[in-house]
Amino acid sequence: MSEAAPPDWIGDAVLYQIFPDRFARSASAPTPSNLEPWDDPPTVHGYKGGDLLGVVERLDHLSELGVTGVYLTPIFQSGANHRYHTHDYHRIDPLLGGDAAFQRLRDALHERGMRLVLDGVFNHASRGLLQFHDVLENGPASPYRDWWHVEGFPLRAYHEDGDHRYRSWWDLPALPKFNVETPAVRTFLWGVATRWLEEGADGWRLDVPEEIDDPAFWREFRKRCRAVRDDAWLVGEIWGRPDGWVGGDPFDGTMFYPLAQAILGWSGATSIRSRRGAAASAASSRARRRRSRTSWRRCSTRRRLRARRT
């Protein structure tokens, strides 16, 4: 297989996206206390208690529907029900059943000839990640200080006024942004990607890769992933046109949201939600794009300024 070519299996794949906390709760898994009632409307911070064993128990149904693979939203240990706030990239969240449940799901999928795609959040982590928490505890003396874009001490990780003294995704203090210019950070993130491919994942969906404005990082990411699995599928969450991101440099495909917007527009809608929520959804989407562009420009400007000083 060509290094630049997408894997053969993705050509006719039907992937089913699963948000584990809200998909299915298994009776054979330990049930945490203080869960929201399953049939109540979900809340921002509440947990429903869905787990990976619940996914295993419904694979036959998914297969009957014609599904050939599962894409899971983040499953690593986290302090959020959606798990985009990663605490530990090397541990499956205990609320989802832990590493053992992951192994059962992986095996059950592969026994059925189905694929498993994971969600990689590598632009930012959470306040609970060890390497960030160490900076909170030890300040300038932390060996992980250069893992982050620190702008002053002490850090104000739980202040919501925007002055938390480190760069974060969309200025949200809960989501500190990795400094991928630090060699140890690059090695760490590449290691996470290859480790879970070695554990049996078939590919990665990469969260907001545009915000890691470093083509060399992503080329090496692909090189290392393909060295582990030559049929690994890599797809990026690119919000706009995919120019410069596909064709194997560095991804096999993108989420391609403009196509979704075009389909919705053809059907006379701006959202898959109700008409009442459509305007709000469209406004929120525009705001996300503006903030993404602002974040990208800020990142690029800082790099240029550093280059001038050196």
Angle at 193 between CA 106 and CA 304, to 5 degrees: 155
> What are the extents of the domains in the chain?
8-123+178-255, 271-310
C-alpha to C-alpha distance for 171 and 167, rounded to whole angstroms: 7
Cα torsion 58, 60, 61, 65: sign: positive
Task: Say whether 237 is catalytic.
Answer: yes
Over 80: is that where the pLDDT of 113 sits? yes
The end-to-end CA distance of the chain, in Å, is 42
Pick the CATH number of 8-123+178-255 from 3.20.20.80, 3.40.190.10, 3.30.70.2470, 2.30.110.10: 3.20.20.80
Of 295 and 122, which is predicted with more confidence? 122
Catalytic entry in 202, 207, 210, 252: 207
How high is the pLDDT of residue 162? 76
How high is the pLDDT of residue 304? 44
pLDDT in tens, 298-307: 444 444 434 4
Catalytic entry in 21, 51, 211, 237: 237
The pTM is what?
0.87
Task: Say whether 207 is catalytic.
Answer: yes
Q: What is the dihedral of CA 295, 298, 300, 305, to 10 degrees?
A: -160
Phi, psi of 262 (to 5 degrees): -65, -40
pLDDT in tens, 236-291: 999 998 899 999 999 999 998 888 888 888 888 766 664 444 444 444 444 554 55
Tokens read off for 296: 């990208």
> Which residues have CB under 8 Å from 68's CB, separation 6+?
12, 13, 14, 15, 113, 114, 115
How far does Cα 303 stand from its chain's mean position?
25
Of 99 and 163, which is predicted with more confidence? 99
Element (H, E) at 261: helix 257-266
Phi, psi of 196 (to 5 degrees): -80, -25
